[in-house]
Structure 1
Amino acid sequence: MAKARVTAEAEVPPPLPLAVLAALRPVAHRGEAVAEADGVWCFDDSKATNPHAALVAVEAHERVSRLAGGQVKGASLDAQIAERLC
Structure 2
Amino acid sequence: MKSRATVLIDPTDQIVFHYTLLHSSWLNQISIWFSILVRKLLRRGSFKSQDDLKTRIIAFIDYFNQTMPKPFNYTYKGKVLAV
TM-score, scaled to structure 1 = 0.28
Q: Which has the higher helix share?
A: 2
Q: TM-score when scaled to structure 2?
A: 0.29
Q: Which has the higher contact order (CA 8 A, sep 6+)?
A: 2
Structure (1/2) with the larger strand percentage: 1
